[in-house]
Structure 1
Amino acid sequence: MKDPFLMRKIVFIAIAVSFSACLQVFSDAFIYWKADLLQQFWRLWTAHWVHVGWVHYLLNMLAFACLPFIFPRVKVWHFVALLLLLPLLISLSFYYIFPDIEAYAGLSGVLHGAYVAVASVHLFDKKERNFAVLVWFLILAKLIWENTIGSVGTAELIGSPVLVEAHLLGVIWGVMIAIIYILWCYFYRWQTD
């Protein structure tokens, strides 16, 4: 391959998908269990990389694999930063804001956050603005749908109820991360000019 950025994205996706598949084999040791969370801190991150089943895994990995290609100018380190921050923030939000959530598994909250974060940053790019608005509209429509009508079809497909709070928290934290990133870029450029 002649494009090194494309190769990095493919390797990044392959590593992440393989990592998630390995954790899936021993999912009970990695899901979000509120009772064990503070003693087994790795669950803050790993809970988002295990799934309730292989269909759930495949759906999330497909959505994950599309993200670097939907926004091709985003660097791999941006995705890595999002994948380190979003699981931690969502898990801590479960623990402190939604204490009734006892267990969780899945990448969908992180995916919602990553898509929104990247789309939010791209709102400031004239070439990407229309597509970023479309992504934002689709995610907001999905959140409204899930919180009013429900996600029975998805729940039946994956064999487990959908925790829409994860999607909402992902969007909130994705927006917060995007705002911090945009402000950091603005002030960094301002200081270097």
Structure 2
Amino acid sequence: MLATIAGVAGLAALFTFVPWLYAHGLYLRDAVRLDGQWWRVATAMWVHLDWRHYLADMAAAAGLLLLAGRATRIREMLAILVISGLAVQVALLNIPSVGWYGGLSGALHGLALWAGLRLLQAPGFSRVIGVITCVVVIGKVWTEQSWLAALVFDPSWGFGIVRAAHAAGAIAGLACWVLQEWWRTRRGNGAGR
């Protein structure tokens, strides 16, 4: 698990602190839509706007990976993180007010909701943690009301917070959980035939 956390932090550090990777990894709407730079859809989640942004996302990523580790395997967690990150970028392509984006926060919202739902299925105290995690993510997305303002400037950060990315990530995490449950049910029913 520590190697996974270090790998996520290392990849994000490369895209955040190596100028060429930063410049070519950041999501830029016009570069993707007009210039065909589609790789930015996959790289933007690893780019952070400054060291504070990087540290905040890495602390959240470490905590969520450790939390999710109570109910699942590492490769599943990483798959959900990446799928949620990709879903966020695809969603942002349809929001003209978001011209650029970087960071893991959208993907982390997806991982958090998915992990919470997985923990709901685990025995014992993990269920309580799952309930709390789901309530916090849903409550946060609801109070941010991204459908009213996809992007809100936050003076404490010095840049705009893309609230729509948080909502898109949470929806992606929920969709991943629903698809996994459908697949498990289907495989379980098929095994009995």
In 2: Cα distance, 1:182 partner to 1:32 partner: 32
SS in 2 for 1:162: strand
SS in 1 for 2:189: helix
Partner of 1:117: 114
Measured after TM superposition, the shift of residue 76 of structure 1 is 0.7
Read off the aligned partner of 1:57 and give its amino acid letter: Y
Partner of 2:158: 159
Which of residues 15, 40, 43 in structure 1 aligns to 2:40? 43
Measured after TM superposition, the shift of residue 56 of structure 1 is 0.5
SS in 2 for 1:37: helix
Measured after TM superposition, the shift of residue 141 of structure 1 is 2.2
In 1: Cα distance, 2:177 partner to 2:107 partner: 14
SS in 2 for 1:73: coil
Indicate the RMSD between aligned Cα atoms, in angstroms.
Answer: 1.9
Runs of 4+ in 1 over 3 A off after TM superposition: none
Contact 1:119 1:135 in 2 (8 A): yes
Measured after TM superposition, the shift of residue 129 of structure 1 is 2.2
Partner of 1:104: 101
Partner of 1:31: 26
Identity %: 24
Higher share in strand = 2
Gaps of 5+ in 2: none
Contact 1:53 1:158 in 2 (8 A): no
1:133-156 CA distance string (max 9 Å, x none) = 1101111222233239x9xxx933
Partner of 1:85: 83
Measured after TM superposition, the shift of residue 109 of structure 1 is 0.5
In 1: Cα distance, 2:138 partner to 2:155 partner: 22
In 2: Cα distance, 1:73 partner to 1:123 partner: 9
Partner of 1:6: none
* TM-score computed with the length of structure 2 as normaliser: 0.86
Measured after TM superposition, the shift of residue 29 of structure 1 is 1.4
Measured after TM superposition, the shift of residue 103 of structure 1 is 0.5
* TM-score computed with the length of structure 1 as normaliser: 0.86
Measured after TM superposition, the shift of residue 117 of structure 1 is 1.1
